[in-house]
Structure 1
Amino acid sequence: MRTRLVTPVLLLCLLAACRGDPDRSPLKLAGDIPPPGPGYRNAFYQLLGTPFVEGNSVRWVWNGQIFDALAEEIGRARTSVDVVLYIWRPGKASDRIVEALAARGQNVACRIVVDPVGSTPAFQREVMPRLQQARCEVHVFRPLGDDAVGPSLARNHRKIFVLDGRVAFTGGFGISDEWLGDGVHESCWRDTAIRVEGPGTRQLQLSFSQHWLESQGRLLPEREVTAVQQPVGDARTAFVSSSASVGATPADRMTQLTFLSARSRLWISNAYFTPSEDIVGQLESRSRSGVDVRLLVPGPIHDQPAMRDGQRSLYRRLLAAGVKIWEYQPSMMHSKTVVVDDRLSIAGSMNLDPLSLNLLEEGTLAVEDPQATAELAAAFERDVQNAKRIDDGAKEIPGFWGTLVREAFRRVGSAPGR
């Protein structure tokens, strides 16, 4: 996923990794953090300024099912289809979505923002003209080259579809052929998305509008962002948009708050795992306090082998604290999800690496709903059946090279001003 972004910065930062202290977050949460429930929602609002919204229906979407779900909802759209994506590349997956958009109703607006790093020049050369022929307005987020604006690493990594301001999708997916399939064959990436319907979709729509307006799009019609949304379910949701910041980013704040809220279990699936020293310390402390901390990460099939080396350099330390670790075997494990206790689940675009935590434009949905949490926990347990359990003597635990790689990513991902 990140070849064009990660490989050059890794080479530039290996030497920088040999000096200085480990990356630290400017956020230091004091006192006990409440567990999922009213206290957590209050802490979430104080720390992030984002309220949990009641009255939503949520449904998990696994692997290649995302394209069926998107095509179905595009066909139902009556007013608008709004899209912001990091990856959109030519192929069968792209053809499926382009054809669905071309077949939508004549009066349905289509607004699309893509990142030029994730989507590569092939998008602008092969896909964008077809979308424009399909009556879609398409913009590139923070163009590269002579038109570049802002830090080159502050890319859009959000993955959002919003339809009629009524239904929204987010997760780890892109529009590219590696997301086709079932997640258990080598060329089919394992990923998780979520569909949300109800008043909580407004937060995802506003996250889209931030990037749409920055990319020279016009204001969304007022009726689209002010229409009353009726409750359709029992789930509470909160969508957090994160951008680079001199202080702690919303991504960093949300991660630390959520991990510290765990009392019984903290089950993490993450594609790129090289978190800050503070977050590693929180995983250790949660495990030592009796929380069942589990970590599922990519194994032998990885689109960024250097990042796998960095992830593995943390194994010995985490294992010593009692954290249980698995490496997914059949394909690239690309999910970004968290299960907390029995009522809170997290899904979105955010990886647990310095780029996501400090620099990238990210979007993550928190869901308070016992049924959704149970379903995500069941998916985690299915995934570990296709994973290898890591123990202290495993050959996957690297030496100095893995530590060097991890520290290099921490250096390049340091927030501005740190």
Structure 2
Amino acid sequence: MKRSHDRNAENSRRLKMAASLLVSGTAGVFIARNFFETDKKIQHAIHTSYAVGDDSFCRTMSHLLGPPLLDGNTVETLENGCQIFPAMLEAIASAQRTITFENFVFAEGEVSRRFARALAERARAGVKVHFLQDAMGCNCLHGAEMEMMKRAGVEVEIYRYMKLTRFNQRTHRKILVVDGRVGFTGGVGISDDWDGDADKPTRWRDTHYRLEGPAVAQLQQAFMDNWMETRTVVLHGDDYFPHLPPVGGTTCQVFKSSAGDGGENARLMVLLSIAAARRSIRIGNAYFIPDDLIIRTLVAARRRGVEVEIVVPGPLIDEKLARMVSVSHWGPLLRAGVRIYEYGPALYHCKYMVVDGCWSSVGSTNLDNRSLRLNAEANLNVQDTAFAEEHERLFAKDRAASREITLKAWRRRPMREKVWGLIGSVLRTQM
């Protein structure tokens, strides 16, 4: 009896040890997969013998980022919810065959109800509607809006829901494609916080883009990338990829970036665009926390005479720590002559970059590690002087509503902000 008791005690001890190791191992995998970088990234400076306006630059972008730059498109810039939401809802209402919609912020309120009703109405009319929503960006995963869409026949999928090893990887893409012919992308969230004209401190200032032409197929493919991963279903044929003849004179490229492909597409695009700048760089970005190589590349641009100006959020921001971490890294930029402005009237959510008055990149990508390395993102690159000039004017308007931060003012910022900026820098890879 004693031997049997000893064996049982030993087996129990081994089971407890195995369970403890399993829990520890699972926790270790969760932390390692979600909070530490495991992929190698570009660490060496990029130098170009060509400018963004040269054919060599366009060929390089076409081959390195994947999809080629395509002629024959039109792009319409939409500012703030008062322009963005009506254009998107009008396109949804016009759908005859398919709607594909990938989204990050979907918050309970009047705006999300409008979109849910519009998508549900089209599904009941026989349109094939596919909605991919990020888990972290939604506060109503089981709310009335989701249930309404599902009952109407909308195929609703939640991205990265309850996947612990990929909990930290999100889809930050904002993609809407109607009948495979009209596309939208940019920075907007489906939330009352984006409604109106950024005329309140609690509203977001943002830009979004309506796209027609051959490049819409590239936007559709970016949606399919995450849909196939999540739903494991291939959507194909003319309903999703119709023939798209030229409709305008704008050259465009839609590229995607995610942790699954090494996460370097967006970062590579930024580095190459800055390295190929010869006259000017204008950046408007909601979360500007560049890594050391991007900072060095911007400083190098200034040293060769490029004018660099950046608009970022001011004290009105939803992520106070992110702002303090951002500010803590401005020293080398300000010393090199980069001009930085903090936007004042409202929350600032724009994500655009204009180089040399001819090359622009707009979309969902922030200039932080989360966008450049972790999130699934999609950006629209535009090689077009008129589009760039429009964004130069847009930048001037944002700059006029901002306060310039000088090197002297940066050095005199409160000690509390300096300390929290340094502490928060430990988490820089997660921002």
- TM-score normalized by structure 2? 0.86
- Which of 395, 398, 405 in structure 1 is aligned with 2:424? 405
Query: How far has the Cα of 1:125 moved from its partner?
Result: 2.4
- Give the distance between the partners of 2:44 and 2:299, measured in 1 at CA: 18
More helix per residue: 2
* Aligned twin of 1:382: 397
Q: Between Structure 1 and Structure 2, how many residues are aligned?
A: 390
- Which of 260, 280, 284 in structure 1 is aligned with 2:275? 260
* Aligned twin of 1:333: 348
Secondary structure of the structure 2 residue equivalent to 1:114: strand
For the 8 Å contact 2:262–2:373, the answer to whether it is kept is no
- Give the distance between the partners of 2:239 and 2:413, measured in 1 at CA: 51
Structure 2 letter corresponding to 1:242: S
- Give the distance between the partners of 1:248 and 1:177, measured in 2 at CA: 31
| Identity, % of aligned positions | 34
Secondary structure of the structure 2 residue equivalent to 1:399: helix
Matching of residues 3-42 of structure 1 within 5 Å: 25-26=42-43, 28-42=45-59
Q: Which has the larger radius of gyration?
A: 2
* Cα displacement string for residues 219-256 of structure 1 (whole angstroms, at most 9, x for unaligned residues): 21322344211110001111111011585611111111
* Aligned twin of 1:249: 264
Structure 2 letter corresponding to 1:310: V
Determine whether 1:205 maps to 2:223: no
Matching of residues 110-125 of structure 1 within 5 Å: 110-120=129-139, 122-125=140-143
Determine whether 1:302 maps to 2:317: yes
* Aligned twin of 1:43: 60
Structure 1: runs of 5+ lacking an equivalent: 1-11, 18-22, 414-418
* Cα displacement string for residues 364-389 of structure 1 (whole angstroms, at most 9, x for unaligned residues): 11011111111111111111111111
- Which of 342, 357, 365 in structure 2 is aligned with 1:342? 357
Is the alpha carbon distance of 1:325 and 1:109 closer, same or farther for their aligned partners in structure 2, counting shifts above 3 Å? same
- Give the distance between the partners of 1:111 and 1:252, measured in 2 at CA: 29
Structure 2: runs of 5+ lacking an equivalent: 1-30
* Aligned twin of 1:67: 85
- Give the distance between the partners of 2:426 and 2:281, measured in 1 at CA: 25
Query: How far has the Cα of 1:27 moved from its partner?
Result: 5.8
- Give the distance between the partners of 1:168 and 1:227, measured in 2 at CA: 13
Query: How far has the Cα of 1:217 moved from its partner?
Result: 5.1
- Give the distance between the partners of 1:289 and 1:245, measured in 2 at CA: 35
Secondary structure of the structure 2 residue equivalent to 1:124: coil
Matching of residues 153-164 of structure 1 within 5 Å: 153-164=168-179
Secondary structure of the structure 2 residue equivalent to 1:365: strand
- Give the distance between the partners of 1:66 and 1:263, measured in 2 at CA: 33
| Higher relative contact order structure (alpha carbons within 8 Å, sequence separation ≥ 6) | 1
Query: How far has the Cα of 1:299 moved from its partner?
Result: 0.3
Secondary structure of the structure 2 residue equivalent to 1:346: strand
Runs of 4+ in 1 over 6 A off after TM superposition: none
Cα RMSD (Å) of the superposition? 2.2
- Give the distance between the partners of 2:413 and 2:256, measured in 1 at CA: 34
For the 8 Å contact 2:128–2:154, the answer to whether it is kept is yes
Determine whether 1:94 maps to 2:109: no
Is the alpha carbon distance of 1:207 and 1:262 closer, same or farther for their aligned partners in structure 2, counting shifts above 3 Å? same
Secondary structure of the structure 2 residue equivalent to 1:215: helix
For the 8 Å contact 2:52–2:58, the answer to whether it is kept is no
Secondary structure of the structure 2 residue equivalent to 1:223: coil
Determine whether 1:318 maps to 2:333: yes
Secondary structure of the structure 1 residue equivalent to 2:275: helix
